[in-house]
A and B are shown apart, each in its own frame.
Chain A
Amino acid sequence: MGIEISRLRRRFGTFLALDDVSLSIGDGEFVAVLGPSGSGKSSLLRILAGLDQPDAGSVLRDGRDLLALDARRRGVGLVFQHYALFPHMTVAQNVAFGLRVRPWRVRPKAQAIKATVEDLLRRVELEGFVDRYPSQLSGGQRQRVALARALAIEPRLLLLDEPFGALDAQVRVNLRGWLREFHRSLGITTLFVTHDQDEALEMADRVVVMNRGRIEQIGAPEQVYRQPATPFVSRFIARGQRLPGEVRGQHLHLFGHAWRIENFAAADAHEVAVHVRPEDIVPAPVPGDGLTAQLLNLRHVAGSVRASLRVESWDEPLEAEWSERDWARCASAADDRLHVHLQAVTVFAMDRDGRVRLRSIVYPPYANSSIAVGPWRRIEA
């Protein structure tokens, strides 16, 4: 059954934090809510935790109204971005808090609480830290104490607010894998909020992309990345960049070329957006072939090459990303002129209200190339 969120709406003054948000989460699922700041993801989290109430809409858990329960009785574990540990309590006291505040009739015995705390600390790999205070712990350790504290109440839904937001990059990457495994071993339905694309794509079963209070797309990480539903998702997740293309009839016109688009009814299109991903701008294997590009700058970052290019006469520089091997193979880069191919471009057609009506991925053929199908061309399912 899981959690059924339907048509949530929340307004702060004139700011619409949540606009008609619907989402269903399966039992035991690990879902990432991804969006820039102000996209409404934290509002959603606070409403699920009972710290805020929506203006309209409903949340059902196993068919029962979750919003009718106040935060105390909701059984929702929440881990705050800055952990919100109690600084005057030891690690053990922090973790035991949720059990100690229970009414005495349902409060476990001191021995049982102690055992539970020890078990939880073992699970988050902090056995030796029982008597430490939060100020004596590193960021990653505090994070895990906060997690253990939230788990002590045996929540049926675990919410994580920017779980790695306050950690440095190295710790963050290590904890990602750890949390993924941890979730797998617990099986608690988990929703986490982040603005970090890598984090969401790497960890979650499903990704919910939000923008301006609306859900733009829900899908598996691979799906959201390969088939973005809207120009926003394309920009935000796949680093899609706008191109000066237009659609006339059944053809996409771009940089003086015209390529046929299948199944594209131009009548539906009020406005068209053409996007290309950095890794889909590839150096041409044959010198003098493809689109001319001027190299503006080049950075070598950990095994990949990032280049800013001015393609043809298009004013906006385009970012391209290649592997070092591809770059080495493309010897034409001696001067700042080179030739590139666009391997795939995504075309969105929007109606008058800005809603995406059609989306098509176009693979421009290597018209002048001696190789009909480029060596880098991906084969789509």
Chain B
Amino acid sequence: MAAVAAVVSIGQPARTTHVARVVLVLGALVVLGWLMVLPLLAIFAEALQHGLAFYLHAIREPDTLGAVRLTLTVAAIAVPLNMVFGLAAAWSMAYFEFRGKAWLGALIDLPFSISPVVCGMMLILVYGKNGWLGSWLEAHGLQVIFALPGLVLATVLVTLPYVARELIPLMQAQGSDQEEAALTLGASGWQIFFRVTLPRVRWALLQGVLLCNARAMGEFGAVYVVSGHLRGITNTLPLQVDQLSQENFSAAFAVASLLALLTVFTLAIKRLVKWRHGGEWNAND
């Protein structure tokens, strides 16, 4: 909204621009309020309508606590994995020339465009009981589908592009002059990464990681397919909300509000960091 206002205010301070600014800003506010803020408030209102005691009880239910624990566990594994992957992918896309570079870029974007349900199905096809690796996994006593590894795989797959897509444009725009300077000054590859590259991309990296985390905790489709819906065992928070909504509506809203709180909390951290380090956030040099 601020951006819209800023763009409009570049024009001459004529009456028409003033009107256009008010209309555009109001329009954006109304749409966002209608689609986002109101429903979000409705969830909390619904969750609390039977009082705080009921709310706390619904949340303290062992299955729900299990779901919270599982969701946090999956995110704690998937997000660091994607952070490493995103950094490696962005590094190679920005600093190396190789055949098939355009293909790698397109592949990184693929999870954005494939339906999460299809992502889940793909995993079943490969790791499921009758899948390509199914019999080998079973022979070695490894369970992937309907267990934690499957949930992590599905989450990693769906949230793959978030970190990489934050970093690639930034690193390509910044160029490799500073890395080359560090190299001629005698720095090793790791020294260049930790002392030169990482500090330059830290805010974009943080932004990517937080978005990735929000998405990882909220993922439903792909996880739904590979989870098996075992209460308290393989139900993540979104799945728990889904199951509860078919039995106990108020409890479902309580859990849903918890999930919403987790992601809102994540985004709040992002805003906070951006506010505290606003000057550095977009500083490239």
Is B73 an interface residue, CB under 8 A from the partner? no
Q: Which residues of B162-218 are within 8 A (CB) of A?
A: 177-178, 180-188, 191, 195-196, 199-200
List residues of chain A with CB within 8 A of the CB of B191.
101
Is B285 an interface residue, CB under 8 A from the partner? yes
A74 touches B182 (CB 8 A): no
**Given known A-B contacts A101-B195, A134-B285, A80 and B186 have beta carbons under 8 A apart:** no
Partner of B181, one of A72, A80, A134, A135: A80
Partner of B187, one of A50, A101, A135, A150: A101
Is B130 an interface residue, CB under 8 A from the partner? no
Partner of B283, one of A51, A78, A87, A149: A87
A72 touches B178 (CB 8 A): no
Q: What is the 8 Å Cβ interface bit string for chain A, positions 210-238, against chain B (1 contact, 0 not)?
A: 00000000000000000000000000000
B194 to chain A, nearest CB (A): 10
B181 touches A153 (CB 8 A): no
Is A338 an interface residue, CB under 8 A from the partner? no
B186 touches A84 (CB 8 A): no
Partner of B200, one of A71, A88, A101: A88
Q: Which residues of A94-111 are within 8 A (CB) of B?
A: 97-98, 101-102
A87 touches B200 (CB 8 A): yes
Complex CA distance for A121 and B200, rounded to whole angstroms: 25
Complex CA distance for A72 and B185, rounded to whole angstroms: 7
**Given known A-B contacts A51-B180, A78-B181, A84-B178, A101 and B186 have beta carbons under 8 A apart:** yes
List residues of chain A with CB within 8 A of the CB of B186.
72-73, 98, 101-102, 153
B188 touches A88 (CB 8 A): no
What band does the interface of chain A fall in when counting residues whose beta carbon is under 8 Å from B? 20 to 34
Q: Which residues of A148-182 are within 8 A (CB) of B?
A: 149-150, 152-153
A74 touches B184 (CB 8 A): yes
**Given known A-B contacts A101-B195, A135-B283, A76 and B185 have beta carbons under 8 A apart:** no
Partner of A72, one of B188, B195, B199: B188
- Nearest chain A residue, comparing its CB with the CB of B284: A87
List residues of chain A with CB within 8 A of the CB of B285.
85, 87, 134-135
A86 touches B178 (CB 8 A): yes
Most buried by B among A71, A134, A150: A71
B180 touches A84 (CB 8 A): yes
A163 to chain B, nearest CB (A): 14
B183 touches A72 (CB 8 A): yes
Complex CA distance for A310 and B180, rounded to whole angstroms: 51
List residues of chain A with CB within 8 A of the CB of B182.
86, 97, 101
- Nearest chain A residue, comparing its CB with the CB of B179: A84
Is A77 an interface residue, CB under 8 A from the partner? yes
Complex CA distance for A376 and B181, rounded to whole angstroms: 50
Q: What is the 8 Å Cβ interface bit string for chain B, positions 242-285, against chain A (1 contact, 0 not)?
A: 00000000000000000000000000000000000000000111
Complex CA distance for A78 and B184, rounded to whole angstroms: 7
Partner of B177, one of A50, A82, A102, A153: A82
B185 touches A98 (CB 8 A): yes
Is A49 an interface residue, CB under 8 A from the partner? yes
- Nearest chain A residue, comparing its CB with the CB of B180: A51
A144 to chain B, nearest CB (A): 15
B200 touches A153 (CB 8 A): no
- Nearest chain B residue, comparing its CB with the CB of A82: B177
List residues of chain A with CB within 8 A of the CB of B199.
86, 88
Complex CA distance for A102 and B187, rounded to whole angstroms: 7
List residues of chain A with CB within 8 A of the CB of B188.
72, 101
Complex CA distance for A93 and B134, rounded to whole angstroms: 55
List residues of chain B with CB within 8 A of the CB of A153.
185-186
Complex CA distance for A115 and B87, rounded to whole angstroms: 36
Task: List 29 A–B pairs whose Cβ atoms lie within 8 Å, in order of A's numbering.
Answer: A49-B184, A50-B184, A51-B183, A51-B184, A71-B180, A71-B183, A71-B184, A72-B183, A72-B187, A76-B184, A77-B184, A80-B180, A80-B181, A84-B178, A84-B181, A85-B178, A87-B200, A87-B285, A88-B200, A97-B182, A97-B185, A97-B195, A101-B187, A101-B188, A101-B195, A149-B181, A149-B185, A150-B185, A153-B185
Q: Add 11 more A-B contacts to A74-B184, A153-B186 (CB < 8 A).
A: A49-B184, A50-B184, A72-B186, A72-B187, A78-B181, A80-B180, A80-B181, A86-B178, A101-B188, A135-B285, A150-B185
Give A residues with C-beta under 8 Å from B.
49-51, 71-74, 76-78, 80, 82, 84-88, 97-98, 101-102, 134-135, 149-150, 152-153
Give B residues with C-beta under 8 Å from A.
177-178, 180-188, 191, 195-196, 199-200, 283-285
Which 8 interchain pairs have the tightest Cβ spacing? A98-B185, A84-B177, A84-B181, A101-B187, A88-B199, A78-B184, A87-B285, A71-B183
